[in-house]
Every structure is written in C-alpha cells, then in structure tokens.
Amino acid sequence: MNNEVSASAAFDGLSLGEAFTFDQLIGAVEQRRQRRLRIVELADLGDHDGLCAVWLMTPSEDLVLHAHSESALHRQQFVLHELAHMILGHDFGDDPDAPDFLLPDIPPNTRRRLLRRQDLDTVEEVIAETLADRFAAAIRGSAMHHSRYLEIFG
C-alpha cells in the first residue's frame, strides 16, 4: 500500500464522510480508542528543537499536548497530526528522546509520541501528515458548509 492509500483507508474507516467538525473528529477518536481524549496547550512547548505536539497515554486517557502558536491553523495541524497517529495505531512505545521537562509527574512508561515536524522522514510520519491534511480539508469543508448555511438561513 502506498502512503496515499493508507491514509485514505484510515480516513474512510472513520465513516465521518467528507466534511466534519473538529469536535466530531475528536468524538470519533474517543469512540475508536474507547477512552477520553484531552487536548492541552503547553506554553513551554515549541522552543525546543521544533517540538510541536506530543501524544501521551495515561492508564485512563489520551493526552495531546501542543505548542502555543499564534496561528489557529498551525495549532490545529499539530493536533490533527497526533490524532492521525492515534487512528493509524502508531503507538510505538517509549520515545527515548522525550524530554523530562514536559511532564515530570507522569512516569516515562506512559510517554508515547513526540513530533518533530522537520523529521517527516519515516513512513509513519508521512502517512500521519497525509491523514492530518485530509482532516484539515474536511474541517474546512464543514466550516464552509456551515457558513453557507448561515448565509441562507441566518
């Protein structure tokens, strides 16, 4: 399977259609993984080697920590990339490079994924980014649909 096909199969597997909101996507991920998903902005993140987002698994929930960005679209893309990893089942286990400053209270064995966006060099990263782009397009489509609706009925 090439990367486009893998991303498309994962996208279709969610059965959300071609346009959906960010919240609908979060709901689908929670349902898929049977656990709560929390998204937290971490002000400290972002100044360290281009680190943009982290996916952490605790025994009870998934956490996506993301860097602050002035651009709402960038923030969304950081998070969508991590959601893509979740949907693709990319929990590879510990990332030995995970910096301790992130969450000193969470034991290392709950850490999972780090994203360094300049390192989109593995197949998994490329597929995750392809899927994140599909999500972004679907969310844009939903927003456009919504504003057209308001134009007509608002």
CB of 78 to Zn ion, least distance (A): 10
Phi/psi for 40 (5° steps) reads -130, 130
Residues with Cβ within 8 Å of residue 13, at least 6 apart in sequence: 87
CB nearer to Zn ion: pick between 131 and 142: 131
CB nearer to Zn ion: pick between 63 and 115: 115
Minimal CB distance residue for Zn ion = 115
Binding site for Zn ion (CB under 5 A): 115, 125, 128
CB of 68 to Zn ion, least distance (A): 19
CB nearer to Zn ion: pick between 96 and 154: 96
| CA-based R_g, the chain, Å | 16
Q: Are 143 and 91 in contact (CB under 8 A)?
A: no
